[in-house]
């Protein structure tokens, strides 16, 4: 893990058990590290407007699903621009408040 990558994740100060949104999940690299810190009580919501990237992220994150202490992961094909007024299932109020 590169120094800047680790500094980025450390900067997030991920709170164990929190609910986090990665609004540009991409290939899932950052989300994987966030998930490791969240633990089983946590929930990670990953968004991406690119369905191809989202499928790669799904694979990246599914590799670790058998880990004990793994958070709930929700991946959604969405643009972060829609978050505020997105009432479709998956992003509605039940996910608020988030920790980061
Ligand atoms: C640099 S990549 C993110 C890399 C990611 N953090 C990782 O660890 O793999 C940026 C991603 O943002 C996505 N993206 C760009 N604009 C977006 C938007 N409005 N809503 C959701 N995703 C977006 C792109 O499709 C791309 O997958």
The side-by-side arrangement of strands in the sheet containing 19-22 is: 19-22, 43-48, 72-77
The protein residue with its alpha carbon nearest to ligand 1, atom 26, reads 26
Q: Summarize pLDDT for 41-96 with one digit per residue, the tens.
A: 899 999 999 999 999 999 999 877 677 788 999 999 999 988 766 655 555 554 55
Which domains are assigned to the chain?
A: 3-95 (3.40.50.150)
3-state secondary structure of 12: helix
Q: Please give the pLDDT value at position 97.
A: 59
Mean pLDDT of 21-48: 94
Q: Please give the pLDDT value at position 89.
A: 53
Give yes or no for a contact between 58 and 80, defined as CB atoms under 8 angstroms apart. no
3-state secondary structure of 8: helix
**Ligand 1 pocket, residue 26 CB under 6 Å:** yes
Atom of ligand 1 nearest to the CA of 26: 27
Give yes or no for a contact between 72 and 42, defined as CB atoms under 8 angstroms apart. yes
pTM, two decimal places: 0.86
**E strands along 1-100, which residues?**
19-22, 43-48, 72-77
Q: How far apart are CA 59 and CA 64, in angstroms?
A: 9
Distance 43 CA to ligand 1 centre (A): 19
């Amino acid at each position: 893990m590169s120094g800047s990558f680790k500094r980025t994740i450390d900067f997030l100060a991920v709170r164990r058990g929190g609910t986090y949104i990665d609004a540009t999940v991409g290939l899932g690299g950052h989300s994987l590290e966030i998930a490791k810190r969240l633990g089983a009580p946590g929930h990670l919501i990953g968004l991406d407007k690119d369905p191809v990237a989202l499928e790669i992220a799904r694979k990246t994150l599914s590799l670790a699903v058998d880990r004990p202490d793994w958070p709930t992961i929700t991946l959604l094909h969405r643009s972060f621009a829609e978050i505020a007024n997105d009432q479709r299932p998956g992003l509605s109020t039940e996910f608020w408040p988030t920790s980061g």
